[in-house]
Amino acid sequence: MSAEEIPYTIDAHPVTGVYNGKFGIWLFLASEVMLFGALFSTLVLLRVGAPNWPHGWELLNVPLATLNTFVLIGSSVTMVMAWASLKLENIGRFKLYMGLTVLLSFVFLVIKYFEYTHKFHLGISPATNNFYAIYFTMTGLHGLHVVGGIIVNLYLLFPGRALWDTAPGQFTNRVECAGLYWHFVDLVWIFLFPILYLL
């Protein structure tokens, strides 16, 4: 089935005001907000109900998490630049910025790996206490979302890029949808970082 046979892959649907892919990604992100919202709510309820809830800055590696915050923010910037490069019809720049986005994503995971392995080396696991159960659950789920973003972005960078030759508008929209997902992943970390590490 060609792009011409599937309506509203490039142009906005008259009812929603956006093309179908963008509408779909917004619906998906709404479900993700509910998922992480439930986890954040659980953290708040546990913290309010526990008189001796530990402070994250006493137990977690704040400098590494701060570095990871800047890495993710940088990857969001490069993701925007990748999309903007396509809007300017510069596929070479797109490859550069999308490659940087993927690279920064891997840097984030490597830093998180060192943080996790240090905890495991000290004998700390999700079974240690409620704080670490929440910490490993939320950061682990976020890490899985980072892996998902890497897979999608690698696809767009390599095999999926062939769509640029036949339907550049549709490919640009796909990159925009991937960018919306990636910004959501970044936004979740922006909330996770202060709540888990600084409070």
Q: Helix H segments across the chain?
A: 20-49, 56-59, 62-87, 91-121, 130-157, 163-166, 168-192
Q: How far apart are CA 159 and CA 174, in angstroms?
A: 13
Burial state string for 62-94 with b = 16 or more CB within 10 A and e = fewer than 16: eeebeebbebbebbbebbbbbbbbbeeeeeeeb
Encode the chain (199 residues) as per-residue pLDDT tens digits: 454 577 777 777 777 777 888 999 999 999 999 999 999 999 989 888 888 888 888 899 999 999 999 999 999 999 999 999 999 999 999 999 999 999 999 999 999 999 999 999 999 999 999 899 999 999 999 999 999 999 999 999 999 999 999 999 999 999 999 999 999 999 999 999 999 999 8
pTM of the model: 0.92
Distance CA 37, CA 40 (A): 5
Domains and CATH numbers, the chain: 20-52+59-198 (1.20.120.80)
Within 10 angstroms of residue 182's Cβ, the number of other Cβ atoms is 26
